[in-house]
């Protein structure tokens, strides 16, 4: 049987069973939860991934698959295809939860890697304050690795480890400060976008994974100082007018537009009122003219006595009467 298993693992190695990589042994506390990252070859990006429970490959039991979620809620799985990492989360841990396998399904023999959980009722001998921390580009993050023995190393999944007090992982600088109280503080500085990944605290025989998430750096909002200048305010490059100046200019333009509209409206109403008044007057005059005959009365100036006498003289005909003489 042993020879058969040896042949099996030899063949499995040739067919790519070690194309999946994960951590080896994780101490956890009972009734807690843990998330385990499983790195796989990029050629398996579109393949189904699953978690299998059991101490041996051939007898393990499926617990959750990327194409079939676990209805009990104890197990969950997610696949980050961009980074070729799928993660499995185990909730409500029991003491008997021990051996599991990260497996990628493929034609022929599946590819997988085993990890072990050490579940205890007491505090674990290696732990972190939080399994997930957030960082920003150019900034730093600090992770506290609590341990009862051993020397802490800081490793990146699928990459290298910093075993000394300082070193580099990718472009980020790592500094490990050990203390006498069983806490080693790991500081990663100079973070870059691809620093977003899975790491772990390592004491040699135990590991605890930590996810570093890179968040977009939020620029602090500072009030714009008001500067009195003889020209338009700029941002220092002479290309932008300050926000306050723009708001004031918009306010003035709005006021001028409203005032112009109001004046135009008043003038229009006055003109309409005058036209309506003129039409009313004409209508009244036209109504009074209907059926009325106008005549011109000339008043003569009264005549004086002399004028009257002269007039009378003009009207009198004078004649000479001579007596008739008979012959």
pLDDT digits (tens, 9 = 90+) for 232-268: 444 444 444 467 778 788 888 888 888 888 888 888 8
Report the pLDDT value the prediction gives residue 5, as an integer from 0 to 100. 34
Structural domains of the chain sorted by starting position, each given as residue range(s) with its CATH number in brackets = 12-120 (2.60.40.10), 126-215 (2.60.40.10)
User: Is the pLDDT assigned to residue 2 strictly greater than 50?
Assistant: no
> In the prediction, which pLDDT does 146 show?
95
Q: Write out pLDDT tens, residues 53-88.
A: 999 988 999 999 999 999 899 999 999 999 999 999
Could you report the per-residue pLDDT of 83-123, keeping only the tens digit for each?
Answer: 999 999 999 999 999 999 999 999 888 999 999 999 999 99
Query: In the numeric block, which tokens belong to residue 278?
Result: 């003129």
Give this prediction's pTM. 0.62
Model confidence at 142, in pLDDT bands (50, 70, 90)? Answer: very high
pLDDT tens for each residue of 157-205: 999 999 989 999 999 999 999 877 889 999 999 999 999 999 999 999 9
Concatenating the DSSP letter of every residue in 122-155 gives S--SEEES-SEEEEETT--EEEEEEESSS--EEE
Rounded to whole angstroms, the Cα distance separating 55 from 98 reads: 8
Rg (CA), the chain: 54
What the block records as the tokens of 68 is 């079939």
Assess contact for 147 and 182: CB atoms under 8 A. yes
Listed as own residue / partner, the contacts of 83-87 with beta carbons closer than 8 Å and 24 or more positions apart are 83/197, 84/39, 84/40, 84/41, 84/42, 84/44, 84/45, 85/37, 85/38, 85/39, 85/40, 85/157, 85/198, 86/37, 86/38, 86/40, 86/49, 87/35, 87/36, 87/37, 87/38
């Amino acid at each position: 049987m042993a020879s058969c298993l040896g042949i099996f693992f030899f063949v499995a190695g040739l067919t790519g069973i070690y194309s999946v990589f994960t951590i080896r042994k994780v101490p956890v506390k009972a009734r807690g939860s843990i998330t385990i990252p499983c790195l796989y070859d990029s050629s398996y990006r579109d393949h189904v991934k699953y978690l299998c429970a059991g101490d041996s490959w051939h007898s393990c039991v499926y617990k959750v698959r990327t194409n079939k979620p676990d209805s009990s809620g104890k197990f969950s799985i997610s696949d980050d295809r961009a980074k070729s990492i799928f993660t499995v989360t185990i909730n409500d841990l029991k003491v008997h939860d021990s051996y599991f396998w990260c497996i990628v399904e493929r034609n022929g023999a599946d590819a997988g890697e085993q990890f072990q959980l050490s579940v205890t009722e007491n505090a674990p001998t290696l732990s972190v304050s939080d399994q997930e921390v957030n960082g920003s580009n150019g900034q730093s993050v600090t992770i506290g690795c609590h341990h009862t023995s051993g020397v802490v190393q800081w490793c990146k999944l699928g990459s290298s480890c910093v075993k000394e007090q300082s070193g580099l992982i990718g472009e980020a600088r790592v500094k490990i400060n050990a203390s006498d109280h069983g806490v080693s503080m790991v500081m990663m500085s100079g973070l870059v976008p691809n620093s977003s990944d899975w790491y772990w605290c390592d004491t040699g025989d135990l590991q605890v994974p930590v996810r570093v998430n890179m968040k977009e750096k939020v620029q602090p909002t500072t009030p714009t100082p008001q500067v009195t200048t003889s020209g338009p305010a700029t941002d220092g490059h002479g290309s932008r007018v300050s926000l306050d100046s723009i708001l004031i200019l918009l306010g003035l333009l709005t006021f001028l537009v409203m005032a112009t509209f109001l004046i135009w409206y008043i003038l229009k109403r006055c003109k309409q009122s005058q036209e309506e008044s003129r039409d009313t007057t004409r209508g009244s005059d036209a109504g009074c003219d209907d059926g009325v005959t106008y005549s011109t009365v000339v008043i003569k100036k009264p005549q004086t006595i002399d004028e009257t006498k002269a007039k009378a003289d003009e009207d009198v005909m004078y004649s000479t009467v001579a007596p008739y003489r008979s012959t």
